[in-house]
Structure formats: C-alpha cells, structure tokens
A = this chain, B = another copy of it.
Amino acid sequence: MSARAGIVVTGTEVLTGRVADRNGPWLSERLREIGVEHAHTLVVGDRPADIASALRFLAGEGMDLVVTSGGLGPTADDLTAEVVGAFQGRPMVLDAPLEARIGEILRPLLERFPDLDPEAIRASNRKQAVIPEGATILDPVGTAPGLVVPPPDGAGGPTVLVLPGPPRELQPLWAAATGTEPFRAAVRGATEFAQRTLRLFGIPESEIAETLRVAEEAHGLDGLEITTCLRRGEIEVVTRYEPASQPVFERLLETVRARHADTLFSEDGSTVDEQVAGLLRERGLTIATAESCTGGLLVGRLTDLAGSSDYVLGGLVVYANAAKIGLAGVDERLIERVGAVSIEVAEALADGARDRLGADLGVGITGVAGPGGGTEAKPVGLVCFSVAGPDGARLTRSSRLPGGRADIRDRSTTVAMHLVRRLLRGEADGSRNGAAATT
C-alpha cells in the first residue's frame, strides 16, 4: 500500500472560477512523480469551517499527507495557517526571525511604490509570520513562507504541507518541502510507478474505447490504470503501472500501434507543439503564419515555447479582407470569386506568410469562428488550412470543427499544428478531409 495524499486548494476566487487553479494539477503530478497516491483534490472557499471540514475528510480517508495551497496572503480572508494549526492542535506563535525576513523582502516593494504607508504594509504582512508551533518553516519566495505542520505530538493523522497560492511561489516551496524531515517521514511508504502517455489525432474517442476492449480480450490489461481523454481535439491515453506490469503495457502499445498507425503521433508523451519545434530545429527551417479566424492564436502557440525565436519569424493577422490583400498579398479577385473562407484563400495566405516573412514554411488559416457570420454553404466551424513548404510541398485541408467560438479557434490551432508536423515529416498529401473532426 502506497503513501497517500490529498490536496486542498483554498480561495473563493478559485472555487468560483474567477481564477483557474493551476496548483492542484501541478501538485498532483509532483505527488505521482514521488510515488504517492493522489485520490482527491478539494477546492474550498475562504471559510475556516469549510477548510477544516476538507482537512477532516482527507484525514478520515487515511491520507498520510495533505497539501494545501493558498490563503497565506496579507488580507483578512487568508486563514489557512490558522485553520491548519487548530486542526493539528498547535497554538499560533509569532516567529521573530521570520518576521524580520519578511521585512527584508518587503523593502524593494516599498521603494517601488513610494506612496504606500510602510507601517500599514508591515502590519499587513506581520500576520504572515504567525505560524503553528512546531511547524517547519520554508523560506518565502514571495512574502509568504511555506509550512510543514506535523500531527499533534504522539498522535496519528496526516502531516499538512501549507503552501502559498501563487504558482511561482508554490513551486519552489514544494521543492524545498520535499527535503525536510517531517515531509519525508509522512511519505515514507511511497512506491514506484511508471507512466506512459500516448497521443492520437483524427479519430473519435469511441474508437479508443473499442481498442481497449479488444486489448482486454486478447491479452488482458491487468495492473494497468488507463485513462483516456479528449484534449484540444486530440485523444490522450495515459497508463500508469507498477514496474512488474511493463510487459502488459508493451502488449497494449502493440495493439494501439496496429489499430491506429495513421493517427498515433506520440508514444513518448511529447506534444505536437514539441514535435513541430523539434522538426523545425532539426531541419533548420523557419516558419511564419497568416491567420484570419484564429487571430494570432497559432503564432501565439508557436511562440509559447522558450527559444522559439530560433525558428518562428513572425506572423500576419489578417482579420479584415483589406489586410488579407494588403499584408498577405491575397488577390482581391480571388476573394471576390471564392470568398475569404475557402481553401484557395488559405493557400494564398500560406504563400503570403512564407513570402512576406521570408520563411521556409507558411501557414494560412481562414474560417468562420462564429457565433455570427455562418451561412449554409460556409457554416460556423468551417475552417480552411494550408501549409506551404520548400520545393512546392503543400498540405491543405478544410474541416468542420465542433463547439463554440473559443473551441473552434483553439481546435484550429491544433489542426494547423498537425498539418505542419506532417509536412515537416514529408508525408504526402492524402485525400482525407476532416482530419480534425472528433466527437
């Protein structure tokens, strides 16, 4: 039986979705990496009673470790340290060295905002130096320290790791926590797991369900924990297993390869973004875009990766027809003849991006993102793509993408990424339209 952990994400702003939680997922991955089972994440508002009941639930589920995020800030609704102290039966005490340390940290803030009242700021942050007695302090990255709070002396129950909410503070403090003695004691029972991620593009999820049934009947899937999901228009199959089940996973992989040769594009968890970046670097090629309906999201995605300036030259966002003509060099008569949303204009945009930016590859996208602007012939969700490369290489597609405006725009960037990948791998243009369609 492995060590087990639960996560409590605090903050009414997270509960109600005004801020997306990045910490629960990130902590979950870290727990998996060190072989700790993670079954529950609880998101609770800034109410002490709700935080306390979340802690009690996880203790009742037999967790060895509970990780909390958030509620360590300077405002009065930040209460996590106090609630955890009470839960572990530890009185709150002011830690003088910590108070001095926070004072040091605040000095540059006061210099940057000279109008602020220094005493008010200090009072507001002194609260962050009041901690449960016996807790191990993790030195602040922002102004809030992390805390490792053991159960009451001599009693059982989970150790609670208290971390601040901002991810750039939480992440280094997690790393610091894993080196402390009370943390290591709490996760002593961790076991090793392997995890493998397969990615497929261009088939509905039900096809994978069928493949898993076939694999189960043919050779069993014992010892594998398999989860499948749709993600930005792709299917992701994640399998987790103890090392002894490696042969079972290998047989599953063979079955997936045999049934989905055309659509299985990643066996090592690499994303299409990473593969495109790798192929561009490997071949020493540059890329540029000309986007209409995606409005810059594709070039934004291409430049998400650090170092992308090595191969991304730039892009044209040509929302208005005048911009398509003036910036990307699309022939005005072509737009009049076939319309701005057409495979011909997508091709002209790809050529225009390549030409105007002097890039090896050009990508053109034009479509109807909606909610308005659809017609019977060109409905909302119709998007045309073209990728032009060296030596006349070209891939062009038109797809009917599902969902609302945001889905269509996001999914379009995935379709474009896959076309770029295929062109870079030298795959000939096939006849299949709608490669992006998924359910």
- Of the A-B pairs whose beta carbons lie under 8 Å apart in the complex, a sample of 22, sorted by A's number, is A12-B227, A15-B24, A15-B38, A18-B25, A39-B50, A40-B43, A41-B43, A45-B227, A75-B205, A77-B227, A109-B204, A112-B434, A112-B437, A120-B210, A124-B210, A124-B213, A168-B407, A289-B317, A291-B296, A296-B299, A304-B409, A327-B327
- How many A residues face the partner with a CB closer than 8 A? 118
Question: Does A315 sit within 8 A of B, measured CB to CB?
Answer: yes
- Given A77-B228, A209-B124, A306-B372, are A53 and B46 also a contact pair (CB < 8 Å)? no
- Given A204-B109, A317-B316, are A295 and B306 also a contact pair (CB < 8 Å)? no
Query: B13 near A227 (CB under 8 angstroms)?
Result: yes
Query: B313 near A322 (CB under 8 angstroms)?
Result: yes
Contact pick for A295, options B19, B300, B405, CB 8 Å: B300
- Quick one: CB contact mask for A364-394 with B, threshold 8 Å, 1 for yes? 0000001111000000000000000000000
Query: A39 near B29 (CB under 8 angstroms)?
Result: no
Nearest-Cβ distance from residue A342 to partner chain B, whole angstroms: 17
Query: B42 near A47 (CB under 8 angstroms)?
Result: no
Question: Does A181 sit within 8 A of B, measured CB to CB?
Answer: no
Contact pick for A320, options B74, B314, B322, CB 8 Å: B314
Contact pick for A17, options B24, B47, B318, B372, CB 8 Å: B24
Residues of B within 8 A of A15 (CB): 24-25, 28, 38, 41
Q: Which of A92-100, A229-237, A275-283 contacts B (4 or more CB under 8 A)?
A: A229-237
